[in-house]
Amino acid sequence: MKKHKQFFTAMFFVLPGIIGLLVFRIYPILASFFFSFTEYHITLPPKWVGLENFKELFHDPLFIKSLQNTFVYFIGLVPVGLVVGILLALLLVKDFKGVSFFRAVMYMPSVVPIYAFAVVALNFFNPYLGLVNGFLAKLGVPGPLWTADDKLVKLTIILIAQWGAGQQAMILMAAMKDIPKEFYESALIDGANKWQIFKKITLPLITPAILYYFITSSILALQFFELPQIMFGGGPNNASLSIAIYLYRHAFRYGNMGYASAMAWFIFLISLGVCILYFRTSKKWVFYS
């Protein structure tokens, strides 16, 4: 009797969470899976069309364009973010006076609202009045049209996105701090230089954190939305259009939920494939001790 009472008491407290999970997570996932096989506009009931939405994706030039842009974001954001994160972590893992202040400064951009940050970044990279081109002008270098040239806009976004590198730097720095100091002392006694210590000790022993970074950053890169949408709205000339932005247009601007759901599941399948690839290859390059 007492166990039953404890069970119902526990259920009373966890039930709101379960209901929220079912209503706001599970149901939308199942509904979008069903809608992806239908022609569904918000004002009309869904009509079953089978795989037609998925076939249509590969005949849609704008979707192909957004897919290419998304892969450019993926190839640019993931490795560049890792290099920037490791460099920041190496700088701030050392103990020196005021290091706590610099760590806080490094992490602070991660908590700035993305809209405010995007507005500042737009002014920063303004081709005519921005600080970047102003600095280049003082060096005698003509500044490019960072935000107006469709060939440069993706590079501009990738560079701007590194502003939030403090988050991954903190994770990598925590991994570096877990490495026993005896390893470094032994390497120094054996005459290893800084590069050899980094390559043979630091880098291999932070690979679990790198695996975590690869998985999370790859998923975010494949769903890249905020910066290109807020700063450029997918332009100029659809040069910054990602799959997530194109999905958003179909779902909430055109009301074409069936087609948008097919895109969502397409992104999910790509993300799943990338994660499986990471896990399958991780045995060869991730060291847990």
Q: For residues 63 and 243, is the Cβ–Cβ distance under 8 A?
A: yes
Q: Please name the residues in contact with 202: beta carbons below 8 A apart, sequence gap of 6 or more.
A: 90, 176, 179
pLDDT in tens, 136-165: 888 888 888 888 888 889 999 999 888 878
Q: Regarding predicted confidence, which is higher, 171 or 108?
A: 171
254: helix, strand or coil: coil
Q: Cα–Cα distances in Å, from 28 out to 33, 36, 178?
A: 8, 12, 40
Position 31: which residue type?
A
User: How many CB atoms are located within 10 Å of the residue 111 CB?
Assistant: 9
| Residues 41-60 as b or e (16 or more Cβ within 10 Å = b) | eeeeebeebeeebbeebeeb
Closest CA to 278 of 212, 205, 202: 212
Q: How many CA atoms lie within 13 A of 107 on its CB side?
A: 14
What's the CA gap between 173 and 92, in Å, rounded?
7
Chain-wide mean pLDDT for the chain? 90
Q: And the tokens for 104?
A: 């806080």
Tell me: pLDDT of 2 over 80.
Answer: no
What pLDDT was estimated at residue 1? 66
pLDDT tens digits, 96-139: 888 888 888 888 887 888 888 888 888 888 888 888 888 888 88
Please classify residue 110 by burial: count the beta carbons closer than 10 Å to its beta carbon, then call 0-12 exposed, 13-18 middle and 19+ buried. Answer: middle
Chain mean position to CA 145:
25
What pTM value is reported for the model? 0.86
Distance, CA of 134 to CA of 132 (rounded, Å): 5
Stated length of the chain: 289
